[in-house]
Structure 1
Amino acid sequence: MRIRSMWTRCWALMLAGSLLACGTPTPPAETTAAKAPAAQNEADSSLERLPVTGSAITPQPMVSKPPPQAIVTQSALPPPSPAPVPAPAPLARPYLPSPAPTTAKYSAFADNPWQRVSEQPVSTFSASVDTGSYANVRRFINRGQLPPRDAVRVEELVNYFGYDDPLPAADEAMPFRVSLQQAVSPWHAGRGLLRIGIKGRDPARSLLPPVNLVFLVDVSGSMAPEDRLPLVRAALQLLAGQLREQDRVSLVSYANGTQVVLPATAGNQREQISQAIQRLQASGGTYGEAGIRLAYEQARAGFIAGGINRVLLATDGDLNIGITDPQVLKDLVETQRRAGVSLTTLGVGSSNYNEALMKKLADAGDGSYHYLDSLQEAHKVLVQQMRSTLETIARDLKLQIEFNPAVADEYRLIGYELHALKREDFNNDQIDAGEIGAGHSVTALFEWVPRGGAGNVDPLRYQAPKASAKGKAAQELAFLKLRFKRPGKAESELHQLPVPRLSLQPVAQAPTELRWAAAVAGWGQWLRGSTQIGGFDAEQALALAKTARGEDAYGHRVEAERLMALSAALKPRP
């Protein structure tokens, strides 16, 4: 009996060992090494609990798995042949917003070159009262950046400011008066600087003709940021608050499609106008062409004979549906201009801002182009300068100046590169030019080299020498001619006057308005990286500007001084 019991026990032990070697599940790999001793002890103690009869044990199929001890001592075994492993799924990367690509568009141009008076004595260009470049430059500097070269148009920086030039007399036939000032150039002591100032008549606001105004607002998805549609809504609220009972205002929006948000409404219905403006929301594409056409339809429906009929376009210029060709859109605007409906543009935005299109459309529409970088700028354009923004007192204003070769060897026009005209365009009334609004100031600056002075352009070899200045010729530096059309007239009028030759005084002793214009022009050329101003820089521009602040009722000149100081800090020194 004892022998049988021992035999039964030995048989059970042998069977249990075989089962442990062949069929015991392998622990997870990541815990095997740490728990091997405990597992071995547990296996040993379990032998005492195995049944003595084999009826309760189910045989397991033989599988070729290494015993637990082999896992513990892997380094002692040859490495197994690697089995094919499927490629792991790509790891999910955390979302990192990439900077928006910049697609802003500016019209490229080169600075006006020096001209020999004996070879090219005449300069012809269109007047401009656009100010968008200054506000855009301010946006860049306030963000800690210097503006792109082509975003800086010197004449728009200079003409951003009002100038205390004399107004035309009440009984004067001309709608503006011309002022002439001269001094030594602030960046070249041996050269002169000529300022031509034009000041438009500024009647009382109560005398403003009835206004038929169409707000055309881009409500596409790109207009959603705070500096776009929300700013436009606030700006239009400011303008709507200035309208009178005899005025009419409509509101048209465009995105994927177009919509008349508000039909022609009396200007004193402020609550109704305000609610319509606040309903504007941004989404979808930019069907600008259809929006422009619908706005002109509204303007024609509410047309006021003898009044001001104008579309006010507010957009970032990012057209992507329908006709987007700038020339086609320009032709459309010109056709409507000839029918008596003008166009003013208000640009907003940054990364996708199409300034080139905004300026082109405004020029074609007998209007001005402005850039809104803040509600303060909107207040300047639409409230402080509402009359000059809306009412035109002189159309297609062109300037032509002929320098006297007996007095000057060379000259250059500072700015106005995008407004250059051919000499024969001056007398062609079919050629579009700039508009002057009520109370507008226009400044044009010329730098010139006195006869015999150090110039930039070599004279021609076979050119006959010019006689010395005598008599009347000795008293004139140049001869200035201006052409313009009165509103509603198709034929232009000619105004002309000599530019006297004066004894040049240092710029520090020049009239205040010349000093200010020279400081801003020098700063603008420095921002463009001009090679024509020697070592003149933003700090010198600031020093000159501080002597010419004048009355500065709205603080615009003080702000410009701050921008000059900031830009000087941003410019890396060589």
Structure 2
Amino acid sequence: MLKSMSTKGALTATTSVAALGLVALVILPKGGDVFDLPKSGPDSVEETTVAEPQRTETLDDRSQLEGDATASQNFGLGTNQDTDAAAGLRGQVASENAPVPTESLAEPVMEPAITATDSATVGQLSEQRSPQALTRQRVDQEIVQSESFVPSPSRDIVAPTEPNTEAFSNEAPNPLKIASEEPVSTFSIDVDTASYSVLRSSLTNGYLPDPNSVRVEEMVNYFPYAYPAPDGDHPFSQTVTVTPTPWNDGTQLVHIGIQGELPAIDDRPPLNLVFLIDTSGSMGQPDKLPLLIQSFRLMVSELRPEDQVAIVTYAGSAGLVLEPTPASERDTILGALSRLSAGGSTAGQAGLQQAYSVAENMAEDGEVNRVILATDGDFNVGISDPEQLKTYIENKRESGTYLSVLGFGRGNLDDATMQTLAQNGNGTAAYIDTLSEAQKVLVDQLSGALFPIANDVKIQVEFNPAQIAEYRLIGYETRALRREDFNNDKVDAGEIGAGHSVTAIYEITPVGSDAVLTDTLRYAEAPASDGSDELGFLKLRYKTPGEDTSQLIETPIIAGMGQANEDTRFATAIAGFGQLLRGTDYLGDWSYQDAITLANSAKGDDPYGYRAEAVTLMRLADSLSDN
């Protein structure tokens, strides 16, 4: 209760209590030291302040009393509120005679509450008090005598806070490549969306995101696009469009769009899910475990009767909270979720081991098995090294059980660990910052998140040096592959889920363009023209789930190929937005306002408001970048 009062209100309450002889409560830090935290910012949290009082010179100075009222208002309470606070404190002591709950500052010295049953003053009880309590008692008595005080900002005592330990996994932005020297670009597809949700959380909380948290491909792939559905033998279609670049008149953009097929719900196999839930002490905040429970409740409502759910938790030691249970027993599953609580250290490795063991026991031929890890990303006990976790997850995925990761909350988000787990577990990584995001990931896109239609999907583009002088891939820095990895079916790559779409964008500079940034080498031979109008050649490889041998799809890239539409323009706006947040040398004078204009013109059909929200985030970034 004291914590919710202003400084003035708390001390007014203390004055009233001392005068009535009802109770004396003293809280001082050990040694009486006064300390301050750094100023608030994106890496800090709200401070709790308890101010020491100072005596005033006189009771009769009415201007001083007016100054007291102003100071009280500055601390959030008026005179009436102070009186109410004091009355509330007296009422609590009289009715409950219990100590007032407090938060630990730095193991404060706390005197027990003392209840006086007669008219004895606080001074008569002082011989039972510590020296620190006696000091505070004398101050309280002086306050009673003066009945007027002002808070002293220089004497504020501020509660210590846990440091921000967030760390993000990223690589330097892709450099410009010279087509005559390095014509081939190879990478794994990526359907994760965590980066977009993280930057949204940052911007809506009033600060620009950490540049390392920005992965442009995850921003672009956050949005659904109306690419043509597959109509052949392959489980996905590919669409290529060549358009002008909005930030550079001398270059062009090559959009590669992939659209996965969406089987009918009745045709999908039974689903076995193990919820691996972090219930460590760090998960106690409202945007962590409480939001997690709400999110899984949404997901459970989408499961079919033949699906199964088990729940494993980890917090100090792993535990099986819910045995494999048919989704038809919804009340049993929701009851197990509602009983979860946060507390303990984080032992992620033990939880992973038990979750995989449960999943393997649930597995049946033809069924889909998935472990869904939900955490704030902090693995501080067990296998915490990303490389060791990578090896462990790689060994487990061969059993046919995939791993997806859902991140919750901010402050200790370990992005490197989350990315390692999801990428090597043949799963996806998403960050849940709102219940609306849970609806998108766990309800609207449930099939894509849990039912793979193509494994180890790789993209390779060979650019024609006779037509293209330079190129660069926008995003996918953490998904880069070696040229020889494309044909090596032992090399892992990303998965495409049912109904998923994937977009990749190259910026290319034609031969002879004024936008060419590099000089021709003195001793290099000029690329010979073969008379072809091909700008490049696109190749895709994928494996059908359960197969070990990949299949190949090939498509030439022709100048003027495809037609720009709202999808390609909006994807371009998001790609530009991501580069502005990340920092780049290739956008020239192109600005947030340019991204806003382009995105607004390409919102098109936006039934859930995702594109409108992106424009709002662009505006926030524009304003914050000026401060």
With normalisation by structure 1, the TM-score equals 0.81
Which stretch has the larger CA shift, 138-147 or 101-110? 101-110
Report the AA paired with residue 211 of structure 1: L
Candidates 325, 328, 352, aligned match of 2:412: 352
Candidates 355, 359, 363, aligned match of 1:303: 363
Report the AA paired with residue 115 of structure 1: K
Q: 5 Å matches for 1:35-54?
A: none
Alpha-carbon offset, residue 460 of structure 1: 2.5
1:26-53, Cα deviation, whole Å (9 max, x unpaired): xxxxxxxxxxxxxxxxxxxxxxxxxxxx
- Contact 1:212-1:304 at 8 Å conserved across structures: no
Aligned to 1:18: none
Aligned to 1:287: 347
Question: For 1:478 and 1:519, how far apart are their aligned partners in 2?
Answer: 24
- Is it true that 1:480 corresponds to 2:534 in the alignment? no
Which stretch has the larger CA shift, 458-467 or 520-529? 458-467
Report the AA paired with residue 197 of structure 2: A
- Contact 2:170-2:215 at 8 Å conserved across structures: no
How many pairs align? 477
- Contact 2:255-2:503 at 8 Å conserved across structures: yes
Report the AA paired with residue 460 of structure 1: L
Query: Gapped runs of 5+ residues in structure 1?
Result: 1-87
- Is it true that 1:463 corresponds to 2:517 in the alignment? no
Q: 5 Å matches for 1:72-221?
A: 95-169=157-231, 172-221=232-281
- Is it true that 1:550 corresponds to 2:604 in the alignment? yes
Alpha-carbon offset, residue 542 of structure 1: 0.8
Report the AA paired with residue 523 of structure 2: Y
Candidates 484, 493, 497, aligned match of 1:437: 497
Which stretch has the larger CA shift, 251-260 or 237-246? 237-246
Q: Secondary structure at the match of 2:442?
A: helix
- Contact 2:239-2:258 at 8 Å conserved across structures: yes
Aligned to 2:571: 517
- Is it true that 1:313 corresponds to 2:373 in the alignment? yes
1:174-210, Cα deviation, whole Å (9 max, x unpaired): 0000001111101101110110000000122222210
- Percent identical: 47
Report the AA paired with residue 152 of structure 1: V
Report the AA paired with residue 535 of structure 2: L
Report the AA paired with residue 589 of structure 2: G
Alpha-carbon offset, residue 469 of structure 1: 5.3
- Contact 1:193-1:448 at 8 Å conserved across structures: yes
Alpha-carbon offset, residue 153 of structure 1: 0.4
Which of 1 and 2 has greater Rg? 1
- Contact 2:312-2:320 at 8 Å conserved across structures: yes
- Contact 2:386-2:416 at 8 Å conserved across structures: no
Question: For 1:448 and 1:553, how far apart are their aligned partners in 2?
Answer: 33
1:466-522, Cα deviation, whole Å (9 max, x unpaired): 23452xx1x211000001000000111111110112289xxxx83211101100000
Question: For 2:594 and 2:583, how far apart are their aligned partners in 1?
Answer: 15
Q: 5 Å matches for 1:257-406?
A: 257-406=317-466
Aligned to 1:566: 620
Question: For 1:95 and 1:503, how far apart are their aligned partners in 2?
Answer: 66
Structure 1 residues 338, 105: CA separation in 2 closer, same or farther (over 3 Å shift)?
same
With normalisation by structure 2, the TM-score equals 0.74
Question: For 1:298 and 1:94, how far apart are their aligned partners in 2?
Answer: 52
Alpha-carbon offset, residue 393 of structure 1: 0.3
Question: For 2:525 and 2:157, how far apart are their aligned partners in 1?
Answer: 73
Alpha-carbon offset, residue 426 of structure 1: 0.4
Question: For 2:264 and 2:613, how far apart are their aligned partners in 1?
Answer: 28
Q: Secondary structure at the match of 1:136?
A: helix
Question: For 2:326 and 2:408, how far apart are their aligned partners in 1?
Answer: 27
- Contact 2:593-2:622 at 8 Å conserved across structures: yes
Report the AA paired with residue 378 of structure 1: A
Question: For 2:352 and 2:170, how far apart are their aligned partners in 1?
Answer: 26
- Contact 1:167-1:176 at 8 Å conserved across structures: yes
Alpha-carbon offset, residue 100 of structure 1: 3.1
Q: Secondary structure at the match of 2:601?
A: coil
Alpha-carbon offset, residue 97 of structure 1: 2.1
Query: Gapped runs of 5+ residues in structure 2?
Result: 1-130, 137-154
Q: Secondary structure at the match of 1:459?
A: coil
Candidates 533, 545, 548, aligned match of 1:490: 548
- Contact 1:209-1:308 at 8 Å conserved across structures: yes
Alpha-carbon offset, residue 458 of structure 1: 2.7
RMSD: 1.6
Report the AA paired with residue 565 of structure 2: P
